[in-house]
């Protein structure tokens, strides 16, 4: 509680200083402050989580946003979105098992419909969350949803903004929020929140920047190829067990549909050292002494991809099918981001799952060419 008060106090001082000097700098023409109150419930996707749910969700978030005006082509393609950073705080429906969560995140808010008075938008945010009451075999064995104090924060919501007076907007929205650690540490059922939000957005100064309307062209290159090498770690049940290294290699071939989207096909090679234990484990939970071949720890698959393009950032989704795997499984999927940080190199962060259940998080580097 003390940390929250200090954070809010510093934020207030910061924006008081901004308010004092806002008319001296054009930078603040498109800067805004947003505050939302969230109320909702924990969506129990597992019966044991439903058993632990005791109360409704109450929380808030504070955002610092910046409007775009089409200076970059991607801004025009996505109808001049807003980008920014925020702080989120909420309870999780059970003060003893789950406690409270705090998160810092970056977000993009994209208009669907917009005029001078109203706007209807969708919002996507990603960040890092801290939840001190994670699973502990002695002190907090009831929390089977979150196995680590640090987790990923993901949020998607739809909001409606109405201009009340000059520079002040009323906000109403519906949102979905997810917390998990991507199976880095068990347990990892994750927590899903469904909430309604109400809040206010205040612009520090009227935005007088001209909106840029460039003539849209076709993609410079229709086809693109990439090779990505990734690595990470995972833990399998039961909690407190060994951490296993994993790695993957992917080849991808893409075709640009337009300046905003590209789709493609690819092939994957996975190495997962935890497969050795899974193959040795009997139905009754005992471990056999069989010796597995090293090749048994590898699997291969093919996938279909779709990417949304935000300048140098790509939001990617993939659906794959195993061609070879010693474990009985068929489909896998990926969700994540790629970032082009040079002419030929990219960074990659994706979550690999099986039917929505996290397998591992991949951190990688890649080379792309046309």
Would the pLDDT of 11 be above 90? no
- Residue 50: CB atoms within 10 A of its CB come to 11
Q: Which of 11-25, 166-180, 277-291 has the highest mean pLDDT?
A: 166-180
Instruction: Give the pTM.
Output: 0.86
Q: Which helix (H) or strand (E) holds 50?
A: helix 47-52
Show the CA angle centred on residue 315, arms to residues 35 and 179, nearest 5°.
Answer: 50
Res 27: pLDDT: 59
Residues of the chain with CATH 2.40.160.20: 28-203, 223-369
The helix or strand, by DSSP H or E, that contains position 5, with its residue range, turns out to be helix 2-21
**pLDDT value at residue 24:** 47
CATH architecture of the domain with range 223-369: Beta Barrel (2.40)
Q: How far apart are CA 319 and CA 332, in angstroms?
A: 6
What's the pLDDT score for residue 89? 97
| Cβ 70 vs Cβ 80: under 8 Å | yes
In the chain, count H helices and then E strands: 4, 16
pLDDT at 236: 87
192 in the Ramachandran plot: left (φ > 0), alpha (ψ -120 to 50) or beta? beta
pLDDT computed for residue 21 by the predictor = 46
Q: 28-203: which CATH number, 2.40.10.220, 2.60.40.10, 2.40.160.20, 3.40.50.9100?
A: 2.40.160.20
Check whether 223 has a pLDDT greater than 80. Answer: yes
Per-residue pLDDT of 16-63, as tens digits, reads: 554 444 444 565 678 999 999 999 999 877 777 777 788 899 999 999
Q: Residue 368: pLDDT above 90?
A: yes
CB atoms within 10 A of CB 346: 20
What confidence score (pLDDT) does residue 7 get?
Answer: 47
């Amino acid at each position: 509680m003390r940390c929250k008060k200090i954070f809010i106090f510093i934020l207030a001082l910061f924006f008081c200083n901004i308010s004092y000097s806002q008319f001296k700098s054009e930078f603040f023409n498109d800067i805004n402050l947003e505050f939302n109150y969230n109320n909702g419930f924990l969506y129990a996707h597992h019966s044991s989580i439903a058993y632990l749910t005791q109360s409704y969700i109450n929380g808030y978030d504070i955002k610092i946003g910046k409007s775009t005006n089409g200076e970059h082509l991607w801004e025009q393609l996505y109808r001049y979105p807003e980008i920014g950073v925020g702080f989120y705080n909420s309870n999780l429906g059970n003060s003893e098992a789950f406690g409270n969560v705090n998160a810092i995140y970056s977000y993009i808010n994209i208009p669907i419909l917009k005029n001078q008075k109203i706007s209807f938008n969708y919002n996507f945010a990603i960040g890092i969350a801290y939840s001190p009451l994670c699973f502990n075999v002695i002190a907090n064995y009831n929390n089977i949803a979150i196995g680590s104090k640090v987790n990923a924060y993901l949020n998607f919501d739809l909001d409606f903004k109405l201009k009340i007076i000059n520079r002040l907007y009323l906000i109403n929205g519906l949102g979905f929020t997810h917390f998990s650690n991507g199976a880095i540490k068990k347990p990892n059922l994750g927590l899903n929140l469904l909430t309604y939000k109400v809040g206010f957005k205040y612009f520090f100064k009227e935005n007088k920047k001209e909106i840029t309307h460039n003539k849209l062209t076709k993609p410079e290159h229709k086809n693109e190829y990439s090779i990505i090498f990734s690595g990470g770690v995972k833990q399998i049940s039961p909690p407190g067990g060994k951490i296993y290294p994993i790695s993957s290699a992917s080849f991808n071939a893409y075709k640009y549909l337009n300046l905003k989207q590209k789709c493609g096909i690819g092939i994957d090679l996975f190495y997962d050292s935890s497969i050795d234990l899974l193959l040795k484990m009997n139905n009754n939970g005992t471990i056999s002494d069989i010796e597995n071949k090293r090749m048994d720890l590898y699997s291969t698959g093919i996938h279909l991809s779709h990417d949304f393009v935000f300048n140098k950032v790509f939001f990617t989704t993939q659906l794959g099918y195993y061609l070879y795997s010693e474990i009985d499984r068929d489909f896998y999927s990926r969700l994540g981001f790629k970032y082009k940080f040079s002419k030929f190199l990219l960074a990659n962060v994706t979550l690999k799952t099986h039917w929505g259940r996290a397998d591992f998080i991949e951190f990688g580097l890649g080379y792309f060419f046309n």
